[in-house]
Amino acid sequence: KAGVTQTPRYLIKTRGQQVTLSCSPISGHRSVSWYQQTPGQGLQFLFEYFSETQRNKGNFPGRFSGRQFSNSRSEMNVSTLELGDSALYLCASSLTGSGNTIYFGEGSWLTVV
Amino acid sequence: AQKITQTQPGMFVQEKEAVTLDCTYDTSDPSYGLFWYKQPSSGEMIFLIYQGSYDQQNATEGRYSLNFQKARKSANLVISASQLGDSAMYFCAMFPPGNTGKLIFGQGTTLQVKP
């Protein structure tokens, strides 16, 4: 059974640019969440999608957005990149997003220069 | 507000010995879930073990067991027979009710296994 797949694994962007990260959840999982991990702030929840709808949202500016497709695959987008957006972005999937085990992908390492 | 506290920033253990990683949590909800994840330097967050607040027995998964003491609000991870590959960051996390898809993480504990 394939795990959570994130692409790309590593990327370098310039300030002001935008970036799109992709996540394919475990087959059958309909809930996809995104987290940002930095040395200073630790792991912070960005948002969660279920059946193409955003159900939960963390405390991040509007530059951070996401979407989910009918096949449960999800993308997150960060516009107008800032140096502080440099982080490991982790995608997680679960069956329903509530009361189930949550599995993570390998993450996407974003460096903003 | 829900909170997870891991008080050990770093720990050392000798190979083949057991080690306990501490985790305390704070919540007023009676229903919640507790997770432990392992994060090697590659970045992947690997699920280790889960304990539900209503589970009567402590969870076990191979060499991992969770010492769940509900009254003390602690959920310590015990790794038996440590291996060199266990060297990683370990995170305790809580899944509060009413927050779909959202885990609350502790700050993590770095474990180093010495040969």
pLDDT tens sequence across B2-47: 899 999 999 999 999 999 999 999 998 898 999 999 999 999 999 9
pLDDT score, position B70: 94
pLDDT reading at A98 higher than 90:
no
Q: What is the pLDDT of residue B40?
A: 96
Distance CA A46, CA B73 (A): 27
Read off the pLDDT of residues A43-65 as tens digits, 9 standing for 90 and up: 999 999 999 999 999 999 999 99
Tell me the average pLDDT across A29-52.
95
The contact set of B with A (CB < 8 A) is 33, 35, 37, 42-47, 50, 52, 91, 95, 97, 99-105, 107-108
Choose, out of B2, B36, B44, B90, the residue to mutate when testing the contact with A (most A CBs < 10 Å): B44
Higher pLDDT pick, A108 / B31:
A108
* pLDDT at residue B1 tops 90: no
pLDDT at A32 over 80: yes
Query: One-letter amino acid identity for B44?
Result: E
Of B35, B43, B47, the CB nearest to A88: B43
Enumerate the H helices of B1-103 as residue ranges. none
**Cβ contacts of B104 on chain A, cutoff 8 Å:** 45
Mean pLDDT of chain B: 94
Mean per-residue pLDDT, A88-108: 91
Q: Report yes or no: A59 at the B interface, CB cutoff 8 Å.
A: no
Contacts of B80 (CB under 8 A, 6+ apart): B18, B63, B64, B65
Share the mean pLDDT of chain A: 95
Phi first, then psi, for residue A84 (nearest 5°) are: -70, -10
Range list of β-strands (E), B19-103: 19-21, 24-26, 33-39, 46-52, 60-61, 64-69, 74-79, 88-95
